[in-house]
Amino acid sequence: MKLRPEPAEQRVLVLTRLLNAPRSLVFKGWTRPEHLARWWGPNNFTLPFCEIDFREGGVYKFCMRAPDGSDHWVWGAYREIVEPERLAFTWHRTSIPAEDNPWAVTVVTVTFAEQAGKTLLTLHQAAFQKTEERDDHNGGWTECLDRLEQFVAMI
């Protein structure tokens, strides 16, 4: 018996966060390896490898190292860069090529809205194969945004 896929709107992740920093600073935190290395990844993860070609069509590749020593690779390409308002990039987290697995790739869009000297960040990621995958990413992104919030408060 083949199960019906969950509705697309249930396989989308949307997170918002009001950061106490100007959007130009928050945007800059997403653009350089030396900044990303200080906040990217869930709690207690490190970023021992971070390579980015920050331009539309450019690619990025990150290795997030978990506290247990396991490596979690993420890579993709920048689809849209509108400084300091918006980023859109593909998100790969599996070794299965996208052409063999259409769910292997999602698209992350991050918007940065100025709000009285602060930044309203909205992260949208879609579409996951299952809501469980969305929920797993929700936890990771929430911790990333916690770390980003701490990072921008320090610089």
What's the pLDDT score for residue 4? 67
CA proximity to 149, closest of 53, 51, 43, 12: 43
pLDDT digits (tens, 9 = 90+) for 25-60: 999 999 999 999 999 999 999 999 999 999 999 999
Taking the C-alpha atoms of residue 50 and residue 145, their distance in angstroms, rounded to an integer, is 18
Long-range contacts (CB closer than 8 Å, 24 or more residues apart) made by 68-77: 72/45, 76/105, 76/108
Domain 10-44+82-154 top-level CATH class = alpha beta
Percent of the chain with pLDDT over 90: 74
23: which residues sit within 8 A by CB, 6+ positions away?
84, 85, 112, 113, 114, 119
Query: What distance lies between CA 123 and its chain's CA centroid?
Result: 8
Which residues are 76's β-sheet partners? 60
Q: Is 25 helix (H, G, I), strand (E, B) or coil?
A: helix
pLDDT tens sequence across 93-125? 764 455 555 446 899 999 999 999 999 999 999
Q: What tokens were used for 63?
A: 């290795």
Tell whether the torsion through CA atoms of 10, 106, 85 and 136 is positive or negative: positive
Domain ranges of the chain: 10-44+82-154
Percentage of the chain lying above the pLDDT 70 cut: 90
More confident residue, 8 or 140: 140
Model pTM?
0.88
